[in-house]
């Protein structure tokens, strides 16, 4: 599987596992954990979660999935913006560590920008690094102007996790090039869109038929084509997960990419950052 490298030279798989909407129903948790464990078996060792997902329920599912296998996993979780202050971030981190049943988080992200000054959040993140509670920090749903506001502290930012898929290409105009210049990978959430509309598009269905793959694999392979993006789809079950894990074998041709550009034109000007 292809890998992506963070500024500190740590490499992770370019394809990970998302957990949005996991942990919301107790009856689903065992199956969700099994799916995540299968992902580890298939090499999808980066798992992304957040304290927001299921109000901590997703972190508990992840804890079950990685029990006895923590050393295999690159663990990412995110803090609510209201918890990103000097006083509240250590408490939020401690709660996440307890739910995840681990003593360290590999990558801790600010989920989106709120009223807490970014400088204060960075200060709190750096303190958690020094204390050994987290190994590195990053952000999510921040645009170029927000990243520039970090100033010299940007050198310590491992990633920016943003909405990125064929229907949401605005970040290609400025954010992706900026991140590449900063040697900072971007994490793509909802890489196959929401609700299934993207996967029903005729262009994806046509390319999928030509390649002998699924529309979802077309969408995922497209997000990974540039080499500086970590894609984190959520799998609804084991069959879906195996389909995701096979994406590393997919090579989109120039003809495929041209067809996708025609159906989903790249941005020609700056666009507001899209979020879910």
Catalytic positions, please?
A: 53
Could you tell me which residues come within 8 angstroms of residue 258 by beta carbon, excluding any fewer than 6 positions away? none
CB atoms < 10 A from the CB of 71, how many? 7
CB atoms < 10 A from the CB of 245, how many? 20
Cα torsion at 42, 48, 54, 55 (round to 10°)?
150
Q: From CA 200, how far away is CA 9, in angstroms rounded? A: 38
CB 186 within 8 A of CB 230: yes
Q: From CA 15, how far away is CA 160, in angstroms rounded? A: 16
How far from chain centre, in Å, is Cα 119? Answer: 23
Q: From CA 118, how far away is CA 85, in angstroms rounded? A: 9
Q: From CA 90, how far away is CA 181, in angstroms rounded? A: 31
Residue 92, SS3?
A: helix
- Using alpha carbons only, give the angle 97, 100, 106 rounded to the nearest 5 degrees: 70
Q: Give 230's strand partners.
A: 187
- Using alpha carbons only, give the angle 124, 108, 32 rounded to the nearest 5 degrees: 145
């Amino acid at each position: 599987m292809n890998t992506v490298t963070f500024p500190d030279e740590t490499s992770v798989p370019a394809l990970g596992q998302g957990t949005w909407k996991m942990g919301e129903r107790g009856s689903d948790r065992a199956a969700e954990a099994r799916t995540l464990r299968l992902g580890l078996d298939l090499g999808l060792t980066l798992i992304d979660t957040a304290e927001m997902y299921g109000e901590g329920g997703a972190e508990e599912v992840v804890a079950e999935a990685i029990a006895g296998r923590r050393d295999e996993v690159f663990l990412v979780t995110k803090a609510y913006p209201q918890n990103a202050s000097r006083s509240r971030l250590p408490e939020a981190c401690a709660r996440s560590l307890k739910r995840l049943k681990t003593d360290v988080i590999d990558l801790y992200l600010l989920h989106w920008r709120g009223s807490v000054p970014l400088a204060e959040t960075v200060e709190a993140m750096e303190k958690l690094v020094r204390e050994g509670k987290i190994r590195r920090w990053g952000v999510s749903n921040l645009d170029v102007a927000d990243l520039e506001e970090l100033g010299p502290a940007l050198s310590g930012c491992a990633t920016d996790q943003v909405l990125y898929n064929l229907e949401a290409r605005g970040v290609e105009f400025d954010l992706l090039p900026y991140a590449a210049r900063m040697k900072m990978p971007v994490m793509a959430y909802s890489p196959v869109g929401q609700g299934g509309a993207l996967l029903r598009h005729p262009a994806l269905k046509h390319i999928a038929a030509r390649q002998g793959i699924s529309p979802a694999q077309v969408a995922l392979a497209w997000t990974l084509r540039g080499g500086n993006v970590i894609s984190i789809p959520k799998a609804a079950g084991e069959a879906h997960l195996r389909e995701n894990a096979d994406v590393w074998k997919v090579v989109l041709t120039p003809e495929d990419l041209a067809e996708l550009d025609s159906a989903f034109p790249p941005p020609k000007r700056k666009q507001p950052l899209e979020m879910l």
